[in-house]
Amino acid sequence: MSYIYSTIKAKLQEEARSFECISSRYGLPFCLMLIHHGGQGDISQIIVSNTRCADRFKKISDSYYALLFFANNPEAHAKVANKILFALERSYPNTKISIGVACKERLDSEDIILKAVQNVLSAQEMDGNAIVDNF
């Protein structure tokens, strides 16, 4: 886990801090979604086409992708995760897709990255496609 965490943290830390600052100032919770795609091909366009203009997308590696977004209601993270999972399942029906989500509830940017990594790794251990959002 330490390699995955350090790689993701290095790529996302600055953007996550920016979201944390805006979140604190305006009282908007924010979420980090990590997506692991176990197949071939770049899924960036599918993810981006299913997000809002204020969301921030980042490709971490050939199999890991990240999305930072503000949760304007308590179920926003579940709606976004399900929408992306559904779109990926349509395009890659025989590929394992794992999604881990963490939202800011008294978490700082480092904690949210760690929790999202733990959640995506838990999702990868499950049979079939999965979303894990323990936070």
Segment 63-72, tens digit of pLDDT: 999 999 998 8
Residue whose token pair is 């997506």: 35
Determine the Cα angle at 58 with ends 82 and 83, to 5°.
Answer: 10
> Domain spanning 2-132: which superfamily?
Reverse transcriptase/Diguanylate cyclase domain (3.30.70.270)
**pLDDT tens digits, 43-52:** 999 999 999 9
CA 94/CA 50 separation, integer angstroms: 20
Residue 73 scores a pLDDT above 80: yes
Alpha helices, H only, the chain: 2-26, 44-48, 76-91, 109-125
Reported as a pLDDT band with limits 50, 70 and 90, residue 105 is: low
Report pLDDT for 98.
98
Residue 36 scores a pLDDT above 70: yes
Average pLDDT, the chain: 91
